[in-house]
Amino acid sequence: MVDGIYPKNPVDFGTLDRLSRVSERYAIFTPAILYLWCGFTDSALWGFSEQSGTEMKILFRRFDKPVFRGLQLPGGDPDWNHALWFVPLADWDKFRPFLEALTFTDAVKGYVGKPGVQSVEITDPILADKGGIINPYSSIMPVDVLGWDGSNCMLGMDDDNKFPQIPIVKKYPPEEYMIEYARKFFKEVED
């Protein structure tokens, strides 16, 4: 398997007036939670590419205004708060099931976890960067957040955080089924 940084290319939307116009061709998402707190690396992207035979094209864009809040480690770089990734829908339709089938384990801390996909509404970042009047009827668009469903916790965006607030990362208690999954997993490993 190839390792290292998976190719990601910056995208310039030129004179596009709304980001929502590209959602017919691209899945729009942030993988930040997985990279920052869940041990996710580009090796999973390489693994998908190798297993599926798909050279998934990943584009990214850093916006001037933040799209999210809380996507940084203490004292860390806040760039994840300003960034979105774009993958052609045909590739996303293959990648998403691959991603959701992954299981991460930490034997030292005794937890297991799986990536999950949460849909949240954001203010269209192209409109936000241009300034002007933003309203909830023509300025809001859905994006996906790759979050964490673990036996230690769930990480995603705050479900109660609605327009005009910028989505913020929230830690939730783990679901009982994930706690039980971890118990069974580590019991099988010991046996």
Per-residue pLDDT tens digits for 73-103: 888 889 999 999 999 999 999 999 999 999 9
This prediction's pTM = 0.91
Is residue 1 scored above 60 in pLDDT?
no
Residue 69 neighbours by CB under 8 Å, 6+ apart: 81, 166, 167, 168, 169
C-alpha closest to that of 85 among 148, 129, 22: 22
Span 51-69, average pLDDT: 94
Give the type of residue at 74.
P
Is the per-residue pLDDT at 191 higher than 60?
Answer: no
